[in-house]
Amino acid sequence: MTDWTRQGAADLGRAIGRGDIDPTELTETYLAAIAAHQHGARIYARLTGSRARAEAKAAAGRAKSGMRRGPLDGVPISWKDLFDTAGVATEAGTALLRGRTPGADAAVLRNATAQGLVCLGKTHMTELAFSGLGLNPATATPPNVNDAAWVPGGSSSGAATSVAFGLAAAAIGSDTGGSVRIPAAWNDLVGLKTTPGRLSLAGVVPLCARFDTVGPLTRTVEDAALLLAALAGGQAADLGGATLGGARFMVLDTIAFDDCRAEPRAGFDAAVARLSAAGARISHAAFPELAEAVALSGILFTTEAYATWADTIEANPDVMFAPVRDRFRSGANNSGPDYVAAWQRLDRIRALWADHSAGYDAVLLPASPILPPDAARLLSDPGYFAAENLLSLRNTRIGNLLGLCALTLPTGTPSCGLMLMSAPHTEERLLRIGAAAESALA
């Protein structure tokens, strides 16, 4: 018998459309798998069983009557625990928000529900989404799919592992500095970072509103394209006939390769060689201003994050994991004029980047310069936590700083992803390129 929990969302949707899968049976299969899994409670903060069953029953009725709402109608997915879910606690991975129960769904959850997607539950995450490692002793740290002793990547840690362990067909996360792409890369998944403003943030617990984005974590690029369309309430990108023939890629030879460890570098180099063999034209280029942009991240991210959460944190600081709390607090050291000046400089760098990258279909980088660190060492060594967290976020943060959309793909080397970055609001083109690259890397 086919294991439904190892199939992608698109394949499951097609099987529902053919009548080969009943959405109610599919949902019960996932709920049972979560309940039976040794790491189920470390991946899901809470299940929405009653809602899932009701949504699956409605999807089954539509399938039988030929009235399916879209290609993913009846497919069960998970949601990071910062997307508001009506009547269900949404706590963003922190005791600071314990018991917070919204009265309405987040806008993207409403859109997905309107397309017939089934909400399985809410997944664990880094506290208030402010770390790339996925370590959260305050609630739970999901295991990495390649080694249970490793962290899964964050902050969409449970989102990634729900898919990687076969406990959801796909997942929805958020990405402020890499929080979709790092856990996707470290768990051998596809992760899409959308352009700021592409998807609604209404009903999403904020971190840094100017950088926050919503994006899917999936098994395939096709799944990512379909999820993007469902979240936006629009049409999916046409991936048919996608090819790398004549595609122009830039390998960005800058700080992205500083301190890049052996496995991620080897996985990246092998992946680029396969893209070239499939017809892509590979160029190498530098962008000296990038180092300055990355240096600005310390003031840009921490200032907004602490301004957003200072009152809540300082009302009960001891309930937070100290390294995450202290990272928030570092934003108190920045002045208003310095923050404004940093944004003004970043806007000028973004304009320079647009000129520098014009003519390329995508820019290529290792999704992360490091492998997932050991969770026990991170807990016992604050200096190690700080250093590894900054490294984990460095490459993905480039896309956030420059306001781009980006996609990470598995390279075939465990926990090593290939990241493709493209101009703002070019997600459909990026997904077509990604589909062709996915075929070359398979």
CATH code where residue 345 lies = 3.90.1300.10
Residue 402 lies in a domain: yes
Q: State the average pLDDT for the chain.
A: 97
Sign of the Cα torsion 344, 350, 351, 356 reads positive
Average pLDDT over residues 176-187: 98
112 with 169, same domain? yes
415: in domain:
yes
- The answer to whether residues 203 and 152 belong to one domain is yes
The answer to whether residue 179 is catalytic is yes
Please check whether residue 178 lies inside any domain of the structure: yes
Residues 217 and 329 in one domain: no
94 and 38 fall within a common domain: yes
- In which band, very low, low, confident or very high, does the pLDDT at 332 lie, cut at 50, 70 and 90? very high
Q: Which among 227, 202, 188, 22 is positioned nearest to 106, based on CA atoms?
A: 202
Above 70 in pLDDT, residue 106? yes
Q: Which of 174, 179, 297, 422 is catalytic?
A: 179
The pLDDT of 225-250, averaged and rounded, is 96
Last residue of a domain, one of 182, 207, 232: 232
Q: Is 131 tagged catalytic?
A: no
Query: In this model, does residue 25 exceed pLDDT 80?
Result: yes
Tell me, yes or no, whether 356 and 401 share the same domain.
Answer: yes
The pLDDT-based confidence of 434 (bands split at 50, 70, 90) is very high
- The reply to whether 80 belongs to the active site is yes
- In this structure, the answer to whether residues 286 and 338 fall within a common structural domain is yes
What is the arithmetic mean of pLDDT over 254-265? 95
- Residue 254 has what pLDDT? 87
- Whether the CB-CB separation of 261 and 267 falls below 8 Å is answered with no
Whether 303 is covered by a domain: the verdict is no
Residue 90 within a domain: yes
For residue 249, CA distances in Å to 134, 273, 383, 400, 405 come to 31, 12, 36, 19, 15
Number of domains in the chain: 2
Report the percent of the chain where pLDDT is more than 90. Answer: 99
Based on the fold, state whether residues 131 and 49 are members of the same structural domain.
yes
Evaluate whether residue 237 is within a structural domain: no
Residue from 78, 122, 131, 155 carrying the catalytic annotation: 155
DSSP 284: E
What pLDDT was estimated at residue 81?
A: 98
Q: Given 184, 207, 232, which residue is the final one in a domain?
A: 232
Kindly state the tokens that stand for 47: 């299940």
Residues 194 and 278 in one domain: no
Question: How far does the chain reach from its first CA to its final CA, in angstroms?
Answer: 24
* Segment 360-390, tens digit of pLDDT: 999 999 999 999 999 999 999 999 999 999 9
Per-residue pLDDT band at 2 (split at 50, 70, 90): confident
CA atoms within 13 A on the CB side of 383: 0
Q: Do 157 and 256 sit in the same domain of this protein? A: no
Question: Does 354 lie in the same domain as 215?
Answer: no
Residue 271 bridge partners (DSSP): none
Residue 91 included in any domain: yes
Question: For residues 267 and 416, is the Cβ–Cβ distance under 8 A?
Answer: yes
How far apart are the C-alpha atoms of 334 and 128, rounded to whole Å?
20
Kindly state the average pLDDT of the residues 64-80.
98
Distance CA 155, CA 305 (A): 14
* Pair type for strands 118-123 and 76-80: parallel
89 close to 101: Cβ distance less than 8 angstroms: yes
Q: How far is CA 426 from CA 65, 151, 237, 348, 421, in A?
A: 36, 31, 11, 21, 10
Range of the domain at 283: 248-292+322-441
Can you give the pLDDT at residue 1?
A: 61
Q: Are residues 79 and 224 in the same domain?
A: yes
Percent of the chain with pLDDT over 70: 100
Residue 19 lies in a domain: yes
Check whether residue 56 and residue 189 sit in a common domain.
yes
Contact 83, 216 (CB under 8 A): no
